[in-house]
Chain A
Amino acid sequence: MSTQEKEWGLITEFTSSKDIFHAAEKLRDEGFKKFECYTPFPIHGMDDAMGLKPTKLPWLILVCGLTGLATATGLQIITNADLYPMIIGGKPNGVGSLVAFIPVMFELSILFSAFGAVFGMIGINGLPKLYNPVFKHEAFKKVTDDGFFVVVSVDDPKYNTQKTTEFLEKIGGKDVTVIND
């Protein structure tokens, strides 16, 4: 096993949500693509400031919801009309009694959509991920309290340890540090 550490990115700190917001705008305008802002709460308008596209999560949730609807419809029609038809008070079975099936159809659509929303969000975010190179940075603990950090990844086409450090300092970043993986 190699113990050699590889450069992972540059981390820098800002003092307020306002500073990090404007820093993100400058990084975006400068042409940086692979940088990330870490904040203790979501900052409104940050997606535009960073030049992020909207997430595709809603589409996933829609697909899950429709799957739930189909599951409920299938389950009820198959069990109550085909496998064990119960005729109560002369009420018709199968599609004829769809009205009675609506509550379960509704509930399962919601249930599956909720699974889609939560596990979709966790999955697309690549969580759970208990190891992350940013955690090596001692000051990073503040991020869930009142810290605002920007990390520029080595994968960014414009990345250059020297020049990027200078740029980050120019836009107001404090303590620009190299993080190794």
Chain B
Amino acid sequence: MVENNDGGVSRRTMMHGLGGLAAVSMSGMTERQAEAALAAGVSTDPHTRDTYRAVVDAILPRTPGLGDEHVPGGLEVELEKFLIWDFNHFQEIRLETLAETADPTVGQLSADQLEVGFAPAAADSALDALLDVDGITEDAIENTVDELDGFLDDPLGVGGDGIDVDDLRERLDFGAVDRFDVSIADSLEEGSSGPATFDVVVETADGDTRTAMRNYPYGAVFPIAFDIVATEFILLGKNEDAVERGNEEFPGGGTFVQLSREDRLRCLWSIVDGGAIDRLDELLSTLIADVGILKFVVMAVNGLHGFGYYTEWAGYQETTMEMPNDRRLNVPPGEVQSREQTGYPGPQPGYAADWRHAIPGGFDDPEADDLDLPDDLTGDDVIDDPGGESR
């Protein structure tokens, strides 16, 4: 057996290691920029931040009228950071599992399935820009648009008026994003191994956000997908409330944040229950290697509000975006905003409370040889012919 003589390399050592710096410098960052990007941890671009803020605001809004302690909502504790952190630390991609190009015969993932690059501001429309992603030739774009046209003609598969690709072009909006670029910074030469480092560059009118990170940057990619789904949602007329272009509350967001609170959630639900990812597979698969995961993501987008807001997470304050070992709880877990709203006192070593045993003398439990079990269940306990096995 191999003895583990690992010296205990810390995260910071790895982050500042030559590999990391070399990696980010390949993306055009200067060494100084790269140092800053790595030292800052995960930074967030305005589109990503405002898209998640719009979700947080829909699920945990400010609520005047329930009592003073209930007024502040999820945005007051910057809960969007919780969602972004979790999605950005959700999947490590290993270099040894990547090929230069995909080999469907062995199911191998290729680097270009994970890389995304497009520039809404530089093309005729956001749709054209999105289709102009790395690894897709012009012919492929033509084909994709043709297929898209045919597909969207009958979006629900029941005939009737479809969506015109021009409508999609006109409506699709990625908010503040002028250029969006996800690339793998590491060498993919044969024999390379270890976690891949991803460069994420988001250019906006107000400046660039550059991040180098050791997991797939789902945090920034999912909001792009939400804008696409929201576009279809609006074009199908599924929104029940008016659409507000240029939502001042979430200025960095795109089509998604233009929806009302409830419509944002209806839009997300169309991914799970409305078949949106089947209809939009052509578009979404340029962004996400396995589009099916978006159903899981919608589950997580909702559920993470429980793991974030209603726990002690907000008490980590300025360390909420740090790695788990570096977080410091600065507010007692019973005193964060949400705990003031639920009355939970936080963990205690025990409680003085009355209790009793329900069965005097304890459970009846004969030896196996003395068991006298009935031969069959009777009455309403029996479900006739339960289906199940071997199906």
Note whether A and B form a binding pair.
Answer: no
Chain A interface residues (CB < 8 Å from chain B): none
